[in-house]
């Protein structure tokens, strides 16, 4: 695949030894699994209404090296059992829909006769304070469908670029819910309202506060600023006046078997974007070992040892002097933060410039990341005129993030320059252990990690292709894309599609790679097949979800904004439609047409199956428009949770949950995190620590990934959490 391009054997990887505290996990997986604590607290929960079924019992300890929380659900007789508790003194209390928090009692393992009293909420408003954010956010009222397309500030105040109510809702998701949970206490209550003439003015100020203020303000302007501010002001005014959302259901069935464990990690201002615990291709890798996250704002790896209950943080290095490295985080604020005043939290310190985004683990237990290695301008070997065949075909002038890995066994970082920008990364299931990257607006890039390990040559080990549709239908892409084209509208020419590639996954069945693009509306999935001789043989295909803009599709069966993306072992693609709040599968084998002049997006509705997610819909939204938001999605290919193989799971980022779909029945299992409220997950991972240990030897992992961790229950000073989900055979299993 790299004919004519010789490796530069003189190039060596940049190796940096870790300086500082390093936690070493030297025990075997079985030995570490044997070290899991086995303390138990058990009993019953009753209230004035009798036994309380489907409510949570929460145990929290501050005595361990990092804060520890265990949460279980009561059975149909109000009984509970908190398993695997380390030796400590716990505050234990009851929380549930229809209740208010009970008084905390101090308990230690082993107590199995505990009688807890649930407290029935005195009013519906008291009860509603414990509802997930999406229930409160469902009260928002977007403009009516009849008002679109917008007619601008001199008309109805909606931007003319917003052409439908669905596109407006999509902007609410990708613009607002993208960064933090809407509907939580921090967003549905307007701080400092009395300092302004109106709630609209208060909202205009609040979206300009803090280090992200300019970004939030720009989102308001994309809607049509005054119309959007009025919508949000009306929402919070109605809540302040007493309007309440519908009540969520209590956990039922399998949901009562869920055990949730949380550990604090990072700092009180950390923006921990993602986590990883194992190799996606083999969930036994790193069994019993550390859990890793990346803190984007602080340029670090966060780690938790779930056996020793300890947390550690390591700085990710860059190649040049950090002081000369750029940062994407603003160095000024339009308005001071309500929480941090003039203090700037992210990206400005000399050790915060790596800006990591997404970690993945390989078969050797190394932690690969997308991170910034050097300044943005690309070296000459990435550009037209070099002997690099990929640059000759499509040159690249600048990038954002690049690639790196941390090797726990050797306690060192390795930095790898890439010509293409990176965002997410996933390993293919090929002999080269190809590492695929999304995140470049023009190309899809990859790194042959086998060749890199053998040669240390970052130039020879990587490649990239622009995404080009075979719209001519001749089965090939023949002309280098660095050369000018006389007439881009010529139907004999193939079509390049540009746009930010968000999620990425390699199909284990045929080796093709898929990316998700949330926009332009309605978004799309793009498939890239490298062929036998890339870059010339790279051919892409594009598939949009059935869109309201397609007159041949029932509006009730439409969706938009693919975001998270994964694949099952059968090669079916799964994606969370973050705009319309569906989980969607796409089966390319069902498509009558895959390329050619008609294959421009809306040509294969038969390949899509859309599953509406549980939870309330937004008021007055005519097409599907759940108030929930799904930052990412993941398929449990190997039954790491216990629900079966090939179970797709979406992050319920606005509903305090992970949402597991049982595809054979269409049923949902909601894995709720009731404490601290405002659990906002961006990603998840699953691992099997011990296949012979039943439910105790497996589980899912996710993190509180909001930009603003201080928006969670507890406010400023609260730290991020790593969360472990397990499913027992019954609510009282030990």
Kindly report, residue by residue over 568-606, the tens digit of the pLDDT.
Answer: 999 999 999 999 999 999 999 999 999 999 999 999 999
Q: What's the CA gap between 44 and 519, in Å, rounded?
A: 50
What secondary structure letter does DSSP report for 533?
A: S
**Rounded to 5°, angle at Cα 224 from 223 and 228:** 70
What value does the mean pLDDT of the chain take?
92
Q: Which residues contact 598 (CB under 8 A, 6 or more apart)?
A: none
Q: Is residue 649 part of a domain?
A: no
pLDDT exceeds 80 at position 481: no
When pLDDT is cut at 50, 70 and 90, the band that residue 402 belongs to is very high
pLDDT at site 360: 98
Element (H, E) at 390: helix 389-393
Q: Is 523:516 a contact under the CB 8 Å cutoff?
A: yes
588 three-class SS: helix
pLDDT at site 472: 85
Q: Is residue 104 part of a domain?
A: no
When pLDDT is cut at 50, 70 and 90, the band that residue 4 belongs to is very low
Give the mean pLDDT of 288-316: 96
pLDDT at site 31: 62
Closest CA relative to residue 611, chosen from 577, 639, 652, 565: 577
Q: Residue 508: which domain range?
A: 467-630
pLDDT exceeds 60 at position 340: yes
pLDDT exceeds 50 at position 236: yes
Tokens 């992992």 locate to 701
pLDDT at site 486: 56
Q: Is 370:382 a contact under the CB 8 Å cutoff?
A: no
pLDDT at site 454: 97
Of 211, 240, 269, at which residue does a domain stop? 240
Element (H, E) at 458: helix 458-461
Q: Is residue 222 part of a domain?
A: yes
Kindly report, residue by residue over 375-400, the tens digit of the pLDDT.
Answer: 999 999 999 999 999 999 999 999 99
Q: How far is CA 436 from CA 447, 534, 587, in A?
A: 7, 14, 21
DSSP line for 636-672? ETT-SSSS-SSEEEEEETTTTEEEEEETTTTEEEEEE
pLDDT at site 32: 64
Percentage of the chain beyond pLDDT 70 is: 94
Q: Is 93:100 a contact under the CB 8 Å cutoff?
A: no
Q: What's the CA gap between 541 and 528, in Å, rounded?
A: 7
What secondary structure letter does DSSP report for 245?
A: P
Of 580, 597, 630, at which residue does a domain stop? 630
Kindly report, residue by residue over 69-108, the tens digit of the pLDDT.
Answer: 999 999 999 999 999 999 999 999 999 999 999 999 999 9
Structural domains counted in the chain: 2
Give the mean pLDDT of 531-558: 90
pLDDT at site 489: 57
pLDDT at site 170: 92
The total of other beta-carbon atoms located within 10 Å of residue 188's CB is 19
Angle between helices 213-223 and 225-240 (to 10 degrees): 100
Q: Is residue 499 part of a domain?
A: yes
Q: Given strand 720-727, what is the order of strands in its sheet?
A: 105-107, 90-95, 56-61, 68-73, 258-265, 720-727, 698-703, 684-688
Q: Is residue 88 part of a domain?
A: no
Give the mean pLDDT of 723-729: 98
Q: Is residue 202 part of a domain?
A: yes
pLDDT exceeds 90 at position 9: no
pLDDT at site 497: 84
Q: Is the dihedral of CA 687, 689, 695, 696 positive or negative?
A: negative
pLDDT exceeds 50 at position 479: yes
Give the mean pLDDT of 451-477: 93
Kindly report, residue by residue over 691-700, the tens digit of the pLDDT.
Answer: 999 999 999 9
Q: Is 645:632 a contact under the CB 8 Å cutoff?
A: no
When pLDDT is cut at 50, 70 and 90, the band that residue 57 belongs to is very high
Q: Which pTM value belongs to this model?
A: 0.95
Q: Is residue 103 part of a domain?
A: no
Closest CA relative to residue 354, chosen from 423, 311, 392, 299: 299
Q: Is residue 187 part of a domain?
A: yes
Percentage of the chain beyond pLDDT 90 is: 84
Of 630, 658, 682, at which residue does a domain stop? 630
**Rounded to 5°, angle at Cα 587 from 582 and 591:** 120
pLDDT at site 168: 94
Kindly report, residue by residue over 208-222, the tens digit of the pLDDT.
Answer: 999 999 999 999 999
């Amino acid at each position: 695949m790299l004919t004519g391009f010789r490796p530069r054997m003189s190039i060596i990887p940049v190796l940096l030894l870790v300086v500082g505290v390093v936690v070493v996990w030297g025990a075997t997986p079985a030995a570490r699994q044997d070290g899991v604590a086995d303390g138990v607290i058990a009993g019953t929960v009753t209230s004035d209404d009798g036994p309380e079924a489907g409510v949570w019992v929460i145990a929290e300890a501050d005595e361990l090296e990092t804060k520890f929380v265990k949460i279980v659900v009561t059975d149909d007789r109000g009984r509970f059992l908190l398993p695997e508790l380390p030796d400590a003194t716990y505050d234990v209390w009851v929380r549930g829909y229809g209740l208010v928090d009970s008084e905390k009692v101090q308990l230690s393992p082993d107590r199995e006769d505990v009688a807890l009293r649930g407290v029935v909420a005195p009013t519906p408003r008291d009860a509603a304070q414990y509802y997930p954010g999406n229930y409160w956010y469902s009260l928002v009222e977007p403009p009516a469908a009849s008002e679109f397309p917008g007619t601008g500030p001199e008309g109805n105040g909606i931007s003319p670029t917003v052409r439908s109510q669905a596109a407006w809702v999509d902007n609410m998701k990708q613009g607002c819910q993208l960064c933090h949970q809407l509907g939580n206490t921090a967003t549905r209550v307007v701080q400092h309202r009395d300092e302004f003439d109106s709630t609209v003015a208060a909202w205009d100020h609040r979206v300009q506060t803090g280090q992200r203020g300019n970004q939030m303000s720009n989102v308001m302007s994309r809607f049509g600023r005054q119309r959007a501010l009025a919508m949000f002001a009306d929402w919070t005014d109605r809540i302040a006046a007493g309007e309440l959302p519908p009540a969520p259901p209590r956990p039922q069935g399998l949901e009562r078997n869920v055990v949730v464990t949380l550990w604090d990690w990072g700092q009180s201002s950390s923006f921990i974007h993602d986590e990883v615990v194992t190799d996606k291709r083999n969930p036994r890798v790193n069994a019993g070992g550390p859990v890793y996250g990346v803190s984007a704002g602080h340029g670090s790896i966060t780690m938790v040892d779930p056996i020793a209950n300890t947390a550690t943080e390591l700085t990710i290095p860059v190649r040049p002097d950090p002081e000369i490295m750029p940062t994407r985080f603003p160095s000024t604020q339009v308005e001071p933060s309500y929480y941090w005043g003039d203090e700037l939290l992210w990206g400005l310190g000399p050790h915060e410039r790596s800006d990591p985004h997404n970690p993945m683990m390989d078969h050797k237990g190394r932690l690969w990341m997308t991170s910034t290695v050097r300044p943005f301008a690309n070296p000459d070997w990435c550009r037209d005129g070099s002997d690099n065949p990929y640059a000759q075909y499509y040159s690249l002038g600048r990038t954002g993030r690049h690639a790196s890995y941390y090797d726990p066994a050797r306690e060192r970082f390795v930095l790898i320059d890439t010509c293409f920008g990176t965002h997410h990364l996933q390993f293919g299931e090929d002999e080269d252990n190809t590492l695929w990257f999304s995140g470049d607006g023009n190309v899809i890039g990859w790194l042959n990690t086998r060749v890199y390990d053998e040669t240390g040559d970052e130039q020879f080990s990587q490649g990239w292709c622009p995404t080009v549709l075979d719209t001519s239908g001749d089965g090939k892409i023949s002309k280098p894309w660095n050369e000018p084209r006389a007439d881009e509208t010529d139907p004999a020419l193939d079509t390049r599609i540009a746009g930010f590639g968000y999620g990425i996954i390699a199909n284990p069945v045929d080796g093709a790679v898929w990316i998700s693009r949330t926009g332009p509306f309605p978004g799309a999935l793009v498939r890239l097949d490298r062929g036998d001789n890339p870059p010339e043989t790279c051919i892409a295909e594009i598939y949009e979800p059935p869109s309201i803009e397609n007159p041949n599709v029932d509006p009730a069966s439409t969706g938009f904004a693919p975001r998270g993306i994964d694949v099952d072992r059968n090669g079916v693609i799964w994606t969370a439609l973050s705009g319309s709040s569906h989980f969607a599968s796409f089966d390319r084998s069902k498509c009558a047409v895959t390329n050619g002049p008609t294959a421009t997006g809306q040509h294969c509705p038969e390949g899509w199956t859309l599953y509406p997610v549980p939870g309330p819909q937004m008021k007055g939204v005519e097409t599907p428009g759940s108030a929930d938001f799904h930052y990412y999605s993941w398929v449990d290919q190997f039954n790491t949770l216990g629900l079966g193989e090939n179970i797709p799971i979406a992050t319920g980022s606005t509903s305090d949950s992970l949402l597991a779909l049982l595809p054979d029945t269409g049923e949902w299992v909601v894995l709720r995190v009731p404490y601290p409220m405002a659990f906002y997950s961006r990603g998840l991972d699953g691992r099997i620590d011990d296949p012979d240990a039943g439910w105790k030897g497996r589980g899912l992992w996710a993190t509180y990934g909001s930009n603003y961790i201080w928006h969670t229950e507890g406010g400023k000073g609260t730290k991020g959490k790593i969360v472990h989900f397990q499913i027992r055979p019954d609510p009282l299993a030990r």
